[in-house]
Amino acid sequence: MSDDTVVVEKATEQTQEPTAIEPPPIKRSAHVSAREFKRALGTVSFAMADNDILYYLNGLCLDCADGRLSVVACDGHRLAVTRMEARWKGDDYTAILPRIVAEVLPKAISTKKPLIEIVFESDIHCVAFNLDGAQIAFREVDGKYPNWRKVIAPTPKTTVRINRTVLLRAAKSVAGYSQKNSGVTMTLAQDSLKIACNRPDGRTLTDEMPILYRGEPIDLSVSFNHEYLETGLAALPFHMVNLGFDDDAKPVLITTDEDPEFRYVIMPMRLRP
């Protein structure tokens, strides 16, 4: 080959398969009042299920939407929820946490600092609580929590106001020796509320107490599990409660003026004649 010869070589292109770029994990976080969150855990956790076949009801639901954090507990027959303002970062999110949260966190939360941070790490299904110099993390419970908002009825037709301790004492007095899951019946009259329970010995015990109506007085009787009434009233820190009624087939809604965001719903039951 002479020195004048030009050699042209074709370059070979090496193509590489495009690599997928993993999007960064979405970090959602909420800053809430330490005092309000600690109180919420103690106020609603009594309504969690215990060893239910619907395992996700055995936990506590944290529902973040519209700049508010809702703490929800439900066992399929009753539901308790309270809400609070939250400095929220990220899109709406719902997490179910194991029931041990309600046992561990209230002891760990100090109200010396006004706020705590809750971090929702969806990529590893974990919720972390940044407390005063410490972090406690829990793995989320798999499953989809029921749409609890559908259970909360609009303003009831009739609401009565009553002392929580008086109502709790009356419920215990008429149902103290009743069988598990037995029912009590509340009967509304013009200016009083009567609570009655059929005892195993065939007797019917009753107690009656004065009430204050908000709305038109009505004559109505509704029955439900006495344990749901007693455990709920015993767990609440409020002095006065409001009982909301629609009819004998609709849930009873318990609220309080002391925490306008709190709701406790008890499903009715039909008693055998």
Kindly state the average pLDDT of the residues 116-124. Answer: 90
Taken in order 196, 168, 232, 192, is the CA torsion positive or negative?
Answer: positive
Task: Give the pTM.
Answer: 0.85
pLDDT tens-digit readout, 46-97: 999 988 888 899 999 999 998 899 999 999 999 999 999 999 888 899 999 9
pLDDT tens-digit readout, 124-169: 889 999 987 888 999 999 889 999 999 887 788 889 999 999 999 9
List Cβ<8 Å contacts ≥24 apart for 187-192: 187/219, 187/220, 187/221, 188/158, 188/160, 188/217, 188/218, 188/219, 188/220, 188/221, 188/245, 189/217, 189/219, 190/217, 191/217
- The dotted CATH code for 27-150 is 3.10.150.10
pLDDT tens-digit readout, 185-232: 999 887 889 999 877 777 788 999 988 888 777 788 898 888 999 999
Least confident stretch, 59-63, 236-240, 246-250 = 246-250
CATH T-level topology, domain 158-266 = DNA Polymerase III; Chain A, domain 2 (3.10.150)
- Where are the chain's structural domains? 27-150, 158-266
Domains 27-150 and 158-266 share a fold: yes
